[in-house]
Structure 1
């Protein structure tokens, strides 16, 4: 399920597959398609190997003496108690990879403050909320650096000062799609490719912002265990 929010509130709710048809009707010039080629390396042949221990330690000394079986069993049991096994499951949905500690900005904040907040929190984007705390847009570094918004290098300091003083609502991406925690990751990937956005807000059934999921979150899931399962279902 996908929802799209703008300054007037909820504008669309429906299947992600309808995104390409719905976006043009919302007349937002800032939602641009992005062509992406994905290279999937085969890590099985990447050369990462742990060499077997050949009868001695790293300095070529004698092999360490084997522990008695009873002592080895006791140590294994102690280790199991100290480090219980973690239940693993495939990562299939947005809730498995999303960031729950969301950095947000208010629409009336000046551009300079938006820049500062993104830099301080080391993020590339932040959902924009109105005075009532409702999602209305997305602030991204790409929009902050867009030639469409930036003054020209030869412009006076007054022009640059005026740019930095304008509210974030003047340069944010809006309307902005949002997904639910139960959205399959494969459909999320389709939405990111269709919009060209670096990530999407996550909302609950009551339209409250509860998280954010970015391309970086998906990439982190790809390289961690348990494996990312994009192709199930």
Structure 2
């Protein structure tokens, strides 16, 4: 299940296809939605039937390895957010200053963090990209007081809100589609009550793709 959370709480809960009907979500989208592309299977000029997909060098190497080792390594299908998400995600509260939040992201080596209110409920998403938005930053020669005022702003003034969120049982392909459509670095993972239980990022999905031994991403 997908949700959208803002400072007033959850404003949407439903399927991925209905996300784009919520006007408030357009504030965090970065680009035009990608339309699914239909591909036509190749047809063999000799047999007139659908041709098998070309065998890649990587595929041939994996096949040779499997034969030499007595069989393919065990594969574990990854289909849900819960399979690849990062649990215990670092969060920031909306009352923190921009400077404090920046220091937290830096010390944790993170590019983003869900923003929560005093009750621990999701209200937004803070990203380094948004903190470094040129439209938000003062001019380089601006007085130091201007820069100080920026750094002393509360996180709520610079966070992305409302923000999409997902539950742990969502199909990974649907999450990947939303990340492509919004160009967000990831999505908070929330429980039914809006409490943040983790985070799923592009890096989490890519890490699953390159994991060794090979994994079947889609069952």
Q: Which TM-score band applies after superposition, normalised by the shorter structure?
A: 0.7 to 0.9
CA gap of 1:9–1:32, structure 2 versus 1, over 3 A, is same
* Higher Rg of the two aligned structures: 1
| Contact map agreement 1:28 1:174 (CA 8 A) in 2 | no
Does the residue aligned with 1:213 lie in a helix, a strand or coil? strand
Task: Quote the offset at 1:27 in angstroms.
Answer: 6.2
| 1:93-104 correspondence runs (5 A) | 93-104=80-91
Decide which of 183, 193, 197 is 2:184's aligned counterpart.
197
Task: Quote the offset at 1:197 in angstroms.
Answer: 0.6
Does 1:109 pair with 2:96? Answer: yes
Decide which of 148, 161, 185 is 1:174's aligned counterpart.
161
Match of 1:16 in 2: 16
| Contact map agreement 2:75 2:216 (CA 8 A) in 1 | no
Does 1:2 pair with 2:2? Answer: yes
Does the residue aligned with 2:130 lie in a helix, a strand or coil? helix
| Contact map agreement 1:111 1:164 (CA 8 A) in 2 | yes
CA gap of 1:129–1:43, structure 2 versus 1, over 3 A, is farther
CA gap of 1:158–1:186, structure 2 versus 1, over 3 A, is same
Extract unaligned runs of 5+ from structure 2: 35-55, 66-72
Q: Distance in 2 between matches of 1:35 and 1:155?
A: 37
Decide which of 54, 68, 90 is 2:77's aligned counterpart.
90
| Contact map agreement 2:131 2:158 (CA 8 A) in 1 | yes
Describe the superposition over 1:66-123 as per-residue Cα deviations: whole angstroms up to 9, x where unpaired: xxxxxxxxxxxxxxxxxxxx97521111000000021000101010111100010001
Task: Quote the offset at 1:145 in angstroms.
Answer: 0.4
Runs of 4+ in 1 over 4 A off after TM superposition: 45-48
Match of 1:44 in 2: 58
Q: Distance in 2 between matches of 1:164 and 1:89?
A: 46
Extract unaligned runs of 5+ from structure 1: 37-41, 52-85
Task: Quote the offset at 1:43 in angstroms.
Answer: 6.1
